[in-house]
Amino acid sequence: MSLQNPAQDVRVATGRAAEALADEVRTLGLHRLLLVAGSRRLVDDLTAGLPVAACFHDVVMHVPVGVVERAVALARRRSVDGIVCIGGGSATGLAKAVAVRTGLPVVAVPTTYAGSEATPVWGVTDDSGKHTASDPRALPRGVVYDATLTLTLPAARGVASGLNALAHCVDSLWAPRATAATTERALEGAALLARTLPRVAADGATPDLAADADLAAREDLLRATHLAGAVFADAGSGLHHKICHVLGGLLDLPHAETHAAVLPHVVALNAPAVPELDARLAAALAGSPTSRSALDELEALYARLRPTRALRDLGMPADAVPAVVDAVLASGLTGNPVPLAAAPLAALLRGAWGDPA
């Protein structure tokens, strides 16, 4: 699968992230870097010899505005000319928000399957919730994928992160700017994710490279992640992402796990209303034509992966459903296969919360 993107230099460099990162920094002509990384575990090895002028480690989920302002102030104080971010979606999201404020180019080194590095979509949270937008300045100029950097990702986090990527593909099927081309790419990404996620999940977290890790599957999963993020950026944000952004912004629920918990409920609502897409998504998830529905195939995948399924287990209070429904309806989403109304949204959220009724 190609990772070509005319706006990005994307490098797949398994076992060679430090070398590829240094080459990308040289290619972009950067001389004073702001390093954004929540974990310091990988930083020294990956950035040795790079012209790092400042480090920012206060990476916070959902990118609070105050954190962005501190990072921007540090970048300006140290006169940096570029940003390197190492980590998951929170680190990438912070770097993108700083890039929008400053115009600085970003080089991303992902260590999860968040996919944020493949999109110009950026977002911040404040007291009123999460706010997202698309801006070409937010799209990283360079991306370095190294499958070995995912080896210590805890298995449960890796599963949730991969299902977050799958949600990018699924939501793209009925997103506002969906086209025949984005649909083909979304189904391609969904098929690759469904095929590789169970292989990677079987590894668990493997801190020793001598262990029997399936690096080929991890490379495929990173490629699928990039495809999922890119098609999501083209097709736009559908119902699934509107719901999850509200849940994250209002309730501070964990990002990837929330996406994993909500996805089957959105598929249950939307897929039956678009039978052709339902059948094509089911075939993509199954890896071959199937008589079962997309929801059936998704449930089979979840049975293998065993992610956290209930929003109540992620910290959502049951009495938050009405506020979440109101915020989703206020988002102005149009074109969903099922017309949006309070009753079906509330039923969807109660199901995702863990109410069997």
- 75 shares its domain with 170: no
Q: Which amino acid is at 1?
A: M
Is residue 98, in this structure, part of any structural domain at all? Answer: yes
pLDDT higher for 202 or 184? 184
pLDDT at position 204 is 59
Judgement on whether residues 52 and 165 belong to the same structural domain of the protein: no
Domain-located, residue 74: yes
Closest Cα to residue 227, out of 135, 118, 134, 137? Answer: 118
- Mean pLDDT, range 147-152, rounded to an integer: 92
**pLDDT tens, residue by residue, 103-115:** 999 999 999 998 9
Let me know if residue 179 belongs to a domain.
Answer: yes
pLDDT digits (tens, 9 = 90+) for 323-336: 999 999 998 888 89
More confident site: 211 or 223:
223
CATH classification at residue 112? 3.40.50.1970
At residue 6, the pLDDT reads 61
- Which helix (DSSP H) or strand (DSSP E) does residue 250 occupy? helix 239-251
Q: Is 2 within a domain? A: no
Q: How many folded domains does the chain comprise?
A: 2
> pLDDT at residue 5 above 80?
no
Structure tokens at 35: 């390093």
1 domain residue, yes or no: no
CA 330 to CA 340: how far, in whole Å?
11
Domain match, 257 and 307 both = yes
One domain for residues 192 and 141: no
Q: Is the pLDDT confidence value at 210 over 50?
A: no
pTM of the model: 0.91
Residue where a domain terminates, one of 115, 130, 149: 149
* pLDDT tens digit sequence for 6-28: 679 999 999 999 999 999 999 99
Task: Look up the CATH number of the domain holding residue 202.
Answer: 1.20.1090.10
Task: Say what the pLDDT of residue 44 is.
Answer: 87
Domain end residue (candidates: 129, 149, 169):
149
Query: Are residues 138 and 170 part of one domain?
Result: no
Range of the domain at 24: 9-149
Contact predicate 104/83, CB 8 Å: yes
Whether residue 139 sits in one domain with residue 41: yes
DSSP letter for each residue of 259-287: HHHHHHHHHHHHGGGSHHHHHHHHHHHHT
- 138 and 16 in a common domain: yes
Nearest CA to 334 out of 176, 167, 177 is that of 176
- Stretch 126-144: mean pLDDT: 91
Q: To the nearest whole number, what is the mean pLDDT of the chain?
A: 93
Which residue, of 149, 184, 215, is where some domain finishes? 149
What pLDDT is recorded for position 18?
A: 96
CA distance readout (Å), 310 to 119, 249, 250, 301: 28, 18, 17, 16
Q: Are residues 123 and 172 located together in one domain of the fold? A: no
pLDDT at residue 318, rounded to an integer: 92
Per-residue pLDDT of 153-169, as tens digits, reads 898 999 999 999 999 99
Tens of pLDDT, residues 55-81: 999 999 889 999 999 999 999 999 999
Phi and psi at 35, nearest 5°, equal -95, 120
Same domain as 52, residue 16: yes
Residues 17 and 99 placed together within one structural domain of the fold? yes
Question: Which residues, at least 6 apart from 317, have a Cβ–Cβ distance to it below 8 Å?
Answer: 251
Residue 221 lies in a domain: yes
Instruction: Tell me, yes or no, whether 136 lies in a domain.
Output: yes
Kindly report, residue by residue over 83-102, the tens digit of the pLDDT: 999 999 999 999 999 999 99
Q: Are residues 55 and 170 in the same domain?
A: no
Please state the length of the chain.
Answer: 357
209 pLDDT exceeds 60?
no
Rounded distance between C-alpha atoms, residue 341 and residue 47, angstroms: 50
Residues 279-326 have pLDDT tens digits of 999 999 999 999 999 999 999 999 999 999 999 999 999 999 999 999
Q: Are residues 299 and 174 in the same domain?
A: yes
Q: Are 301 and 336 in contact (CB under 8 A)?
A: no
Which range is least confidently modeled, 33-42, 98-107, 264-273, 295-304? 33-42
Could you tell me if residue 155 is inside a domain?
no
